[in-house]
Structure 1
Amino acid sequence: MKRDAQWDEAVHEVRGDLHGLVSTHEDLVRRWSEPHRGYHDLQHLDEVIDALDELRGTAIDLDQDWAATVFAAWFHDAVYDPATPSDNERLSAELAREALSQNGIEESAVDLVVALVDATVAHDVLETRGPLAAFHDADLWILSAPVDRFDRYCADVRQEYVVVPDDAYASGRSAILEPFLARDTIYRTAWARQHWEPRARTNLSRELSRLRG
């Protein structure tokens, strides 16, 4: 599968401990396959990696930066518990630092992976090229997905928070989505602004209307 091929390419680029990183890869697959996940599952990981692949030629110049974005994709939702959402990114970043550092990845590469994962907390970066911009946009590709996929994404996220009453969910979810629509541009890279932005705005407007009832 592409996600595994991209993992192997990233491992080759950073020249870490191959045996240790095999174990890390297996642990990450297990995490992404946890039964409580609705949207934040292996399909989401695949879509982020596909989106990064689409952006690579226009937004990422260095192979080392490409490797870091692939690792960030694998780690960014590695810890995912809807009951404690404020901790997920921090714990995922800590997992990335521990797993990569103990397998011989140089500190600068680890720092970049951690920075990319940390940036998913606010989804707000200034760069329009490079790994931060590319990873920001790839993680938000789902907002520009075809209608049926976007609607399934919305339903899957709702399922992850099924214990939350409808009114509270609608209010909280709207507070997350509205700022994206209020931005001058949802995406940072030129490619995503041209190819993904229009449909993302349409999708977001439709979902916010549904949430408002």
Structure 2
Amino acid sequence: MFTETTEIPQWLLSSWLRSCQAAGATANDAELIAVCRDLIDRWNGEDRCYHGVKHLVDVLTHVDELAAEAQDPDLVRLAAWYHGAVFSAEAHRAYANEAGEDEVASGVLARTQLASLGVPEDNAEKVSRLVTNLVRHKGSGSSTDGAVLCDADLAVLKSDPQHYKHYLAAIREEYSHIPVIDFVRARLRIVTRLLERENLFSTAGAQGWEEAARQNLIAEQARLTKELKKLSQADEPVAHSA
């Protein structure tokens, strides 16, 4: 939970305040900080091994990198704050379909909290819509703001091999309660869907990430396919002679 001693980047709170004020919030600093603390509490949830504060910081950092392509960069930053605010890694939530992040509930939370801070209805609604539209991570064909948010969220895919390995380990730990064969099948479906896209990233600034991301995904797909084959063979019943 958020406390006065929670270790977070010093710029995170000031970034939140600037974005809220740029979006038209009329609440005072104390009210803005209270909502920020609520969000940090959410991102600090005990069941978050990957989708935690570090992921939030990474997405915000990549939004800043792509900000020149956004129409309303501060609204995109606010959407980044909310895109995984509601999260559950419980087994009944199909990893392959939702990956724990509840974009619809997060969008509702964004609209409700931002409205309570005096953010104009149009802006609160736009942030909510950006969050909700992130469900399938399809940046192409969406608004430029949606494309920036989507690319920033998927930027982890272009990590160097060592960081990509850490990312995969964190994802697996987050869903450690799911049987390994179910997790491998689900993850393989996700990776395959991503590789079937013509482009992983939509913004001009993210085009340079494409090759590294595809190489990571191709290598992961090969490993998962091999692992699934072994797991499936081990799960087969042993034939007994009469």
Structure 2 length as normaliser, TM-score?
0.81
Counterpart for residue 66 of structure 1: 73
Counterpart for residue 129 of structure 2: 115
1:147-162 map, 5 Å: 147-162=161-176
| Stretch of structure 1 that moved more, 158-167 or 118-127 | 118-127
SS of the residue aligned with 1:164? coil
Moved over 3 A (4+): 84-87
Question: Contact conserved, 1:2 with 1:46, CA < 8 A, in 2?
Answer: no
Counterpart for residue 44 of structure 1: 55
1:64-213 map, 5 Å: 65-83=72-90, 84=93, 86=98, 88-127=102-141, 130-193=144-207, 195-212=208-225, 213=227
Residues 69-115 of structure 1: CA deviation (Å, up to 9, x unaligned): 11111111111101136471111111111101111111111111111
Q: Which runs of 5+ in 1 are unaligned?
A: none
Question: Contact conserved, 1:3 with 1:49, CA < 8 A, in 2?
Answer: no
Counterpart for residue 12 of structure 2: 3
Instruction: Specify which structure has the higher proportion of helix.
Output: 1
Structure with larger RCO (C-alpha < 8 A, sep 6+): 1
SS of the residue aligned with 2:167? helix
Question: Contact conserved, 1:128 with 1:190, CA < 8 A, in 2?
Answer: no
Q: Distance in 2 between matches of 1:107 and 1:164?
A: 40
Counterpart for residue 53 of structure 1: 64
- Tell me how many residue pairs correspond in the alignment: 208
| Stretch of structure 1 that moved more, 3-12 or 196-205 | 3-12
Shift of 1:37: 0.5
Q: Distance in 1 between matches of 2:215 and 2:13?
A: 33
Structure showing greater Rg: 2
SS of the residue aligned with 1:140? helix
Question: Contact conserved, 1:129 with 1:189, CA < 8 A, in 2?
Answer: no
Q: Calculate the aligned-residue CA RMSD, in Å.
A: 1.6
Q: Which runs of 5+ in 2 are unaligned?
A: 1-9, 228-242
